[in-house]
Amino acid sequence: MLPGTASVSGGPAKNRPAPPKAARAAHLPDHDKERETMRLLLIRHGETPGNVLGQLDTAHPGPGLTELGERQAEALPRALVNEPVSALYASTLLRTQITAKPLSRELGLDVEILDGIHEIEAGALEKLTDHESHRRYMSTVFAWSDGDFDRRMPAGPDGHEFFGRYDAAIAKVAAEAAGAGAVALVSHGAAIRVWAARRADNIDMEFAARHVLANTGIVALEGDPEAGWQLIHWDASPVGGLALADPAAEDPMGKTTG
């Protein structure tokens, strides 16, 4: 287990439609299930100027990292030294690609740019910093985790659109890296929290809303898109420890909503 993490065992059963092909996966031979099970490391990018200012900052290509964010990214290789990472992906936003570079250099892996794992678009709330805008954004996206996919971000996506793109990206990774150990995806705070809350069988929306996801925090899952996912751990601090945290940052995407 990584430092500064909470482990998860068991949890609430979810009354939701099964992931695509789940019924077919239930009939796979045991060795096929084992082959397709993967360890998925969803890594939040390092700190950005928008995080410090409390901006709902989701547009492409987005900002780079702060000096602290760069140090957070440099801490990733050491934190993941015991993870058998065989593939490394980043979103289409610049901050994730910069965050992935130290890990890419250490592992000798190319960073593959993966469409679909970018941050949830803020729509009409883009760049806003006030508490009401934060509340409206987060309440909308966590409503999706709770099953209200029809709810729409003001002038932005609904839950069907978000889960459609993120699920497709994860399915692509699973198909490319099945049986390859751990796969690291550098993604975004709200996107990771919302997707994991819905797709991990042993947590729910309330868990994700209550738990901080710091910059370079990692949400680790095991499973596959057909049989489902189990949350293994959820970071409450940057992977380099509290010395790399920024308690003064407003950062709506990573904070609790309670």
Neighbours of 113 (CB within 10 A): 14
Exposure class string for 17-41: b at 16+ Cβ within 10 A, else e:
eebeeeeebeeeeeeebeebbbbbb
Residues in the chain: 258
What CA–CA distance (Å, rounded) separates 112 from 195?
20
Residues 47, 119, 126, 226: which is the catalytic one? Answer: 119
Query: Which neighbouring-strand residues pair with 234?
Result: 6, 219
Could you confirm whether 47 is annotated as catalytic? no
DSSP state letter for 120: P
Is residue 95 within 8 A of residue 64, CB to CB? The reply is yes
Distance, CA of 154 to CA of 257 (rounded, Å): 19
119 annotated active-site: yes
DSSP structure class, residue 61? S
State the catalytic residue, choosing from 36, 45, 74, 188.
Answer: 45
DSSP 111: E
Rounded Cα gap, residues 95 and 176, in angstroms: 24
Contact 231, 40 (CB under 8 A): no
How distant is the alpha carbon of residue 215 from its chain centre?
11
10 Å Cβ neighbour count for 176? 13
Instruction: Return the amino acid letter for 81.
Output: V
What residues are annotated to the active site?
Answer: 45, 119
